Amino acid sequence: MSFDFLSSLLGSAWSIFLIVLFFGGSIFVHELGHFLAARRRGVKVTRFSIGFGPAIWKWQGKDGVDYRISWLPLGGYVALPQLADMPALEGESENVEQLPPVDYTSRMIVFVAGATFNVLFAFVLACVLWWAGQPTSEDLSTTRIGYITKTITLPDNTSVPSPALEAGLQVGDAIRAIDGTKVADWSELLQTLVTSAGVTDDGQRKAIFTIEREGRILDLPVFPRLSGEEKNRKVGIMPAYTPIVNSVPEKSYAQQLGLQADDQLKTLNGAPLLNLVTLMDMMQAKVPEAFTLGVLRGDRTITIQVPADRPKNTSPYFGAAYRTNYGLVHVNPFEQVYTQIRMTVRMFVSLLQPSSDMGLSKLSGPVGIGRIYWDASKAGIRYVVWIAILVNVNLAIFNLLPIPVLDGGHMMFATIGKLRGKALPFNFVATMQSIFVVLILGMMAYVTVFGDLRRLVRDNRADALAKEAAAEAQKQSAEPAKP
């Protein structure tokens, strides 16, 4: 067994362990909230299950509760026949008529406890991340524009002028808000843009960008276009960051120019260089031109002259590897949880707006969430904890939606019964539960097939093409330069 294979195997085992621990743990915490609240309020519990369907493992406790892990990892449930008898999901339970009724307050406490425990769990994880530090990089922590594309590609592969250029956005602008919603970093900026729903009277997509330029605050109307495989709203901007040379291979053009590891590329022809794509544009110009790089090396600035008569097969980045400034930020747990709540609510609101471009296929189901955890585990445990905070907040808010089968639906039925002075007919509630079980399972199947699996196939194909391109570039760089 080779060392590489062993490392890969151990890495995969670690990733699976983290998925089970944090994703499964989030479901367990939710159901634990229901379980403990029910026991506290004297509500009968017949089963505590992680997953649905037949049991993989089960154990009958001395308290009479059937504890089990089931085959379908689509969630979990605590069987509470006095509150919500759902045989379609949980199997047959005791005759409800033989059990004493439960007061309205106890019902609401038990139903809301699952979401409450998810938020509390998210807060605990946020405290851990506050203490350990949340990884970030300069390009993700900024809202400053570092590059504006000349065009963007539409889903039909046609190119149109960049909405950012047409709107008058400039490199160096700091975006403070979109449609009045403040943005604190690049991830929040993109999410706010994607979930925006502004349109003009004639149906054209529209967003108001509030920017800071040279100390002035400006509001610019921008008209996003749908672009990319996901058909998201885009305007053609990239974040600003400082390109830093990470390594300089032997015999590379970067070595010939005199670049060294840890050099910071600050200017190009005297103008600030805020994104490596600007350098790529210069290197790939149809008519090569000489240019000057301003490089910060230690505490001194040097200039590097790049001639026009450079080798034809020169890499756009001189063959060097680059990084940017990286560090840990210690964000207080209240702000972490609030940020995730705000972003989750914004997404759900966007789904309900007819003028929005959000759809079910852009959501993630269990497969997609598992894949997100998988990718995060490769980047480090801090990323996994951050994803777990997001997932728990999503679970809490989703389960509180007033939809039958979900906790919010149970609370809605209980409240209607309280207002009308008597509980809703059992057959009506059971019918609504059955209908929405089918609808929600159908929605999850749709999200899995047309969202999660489609993205998985697409990204795997893109990764394979990227590896082929990298291998070809490495092969070319190993060949003697042709003048």
- How confident is the model over 224-237, as a mean pLDDT? 92
Identify each DSSP E strand in 261-386 by its residue range: 264-268, 271-272, 291-297, 300-306, 321-323, 326-329
What homologous superfamily does CATH list for 139-238? Answer: PDZ domain (2.30.42.10)
Q: How far apart are CA 426 and CA 406, in angstroms?
A: 17
Question: Is 83 buried (19+), middle (13-18) or exposed (0-12) by CB count in 10 A?
Answer: buried
Topology given in CATH for the domain delimited by 244-323: Pdz3 Domain (2.30.42)
- Euclidean distance between CA atoms 40 and 148, whole angstroms: 58
Q: Give the count of beta carbons closer than 10 Å to the beta carbon of residue 274.
A: 25
Q: How confident is the model at residue 471 (pLDDT cuts 50, 70, 90)?
A: low
Lowest mean pLDDT among 71-75, 228-232, 404-408: 71-75
pLDDT (mean) for 103-122: 95
> Structure tokens of 169?
């956005």
Domain ranges of the chain: 3-133+382-466, 139-238, 244-323
List of residues 6+ apart from 403 with CB closer than 8 A: 409, 436, 440
Domains 139-238 and 244-323 share a fold: yes
Residue 355, both tokens? 């003028």
Helix (H, G, I), strand (E, B) or coil at 244: strand
H or E element at residue 372: helix 366-379
Taking only the tens place, the pLDDT of each residue in 29-38 is 999 999 999 9
Measuring CA to CA, which residue among 144, 146, 366, 423 is closest to residue 273? Answer: 146
Confidence of residue 480 (pLDDT cuts 50, 70, 90): very low
Burial of residue 364 (CB within 10 Å: 0-12, 13-18, 19+) is middle
For residue 444, the model assigns a pLDDT of 85
- At 333-348, the pLDDT tens digits run 999 999 999 999 999 9
Burial of 287 (0-12, 13-18, 19+ CB in 10 A): exposed
Cβ atoms within 10 Å, residue 309: 8
pLDDT of residue 419: 93
The pTM score is: 0.85
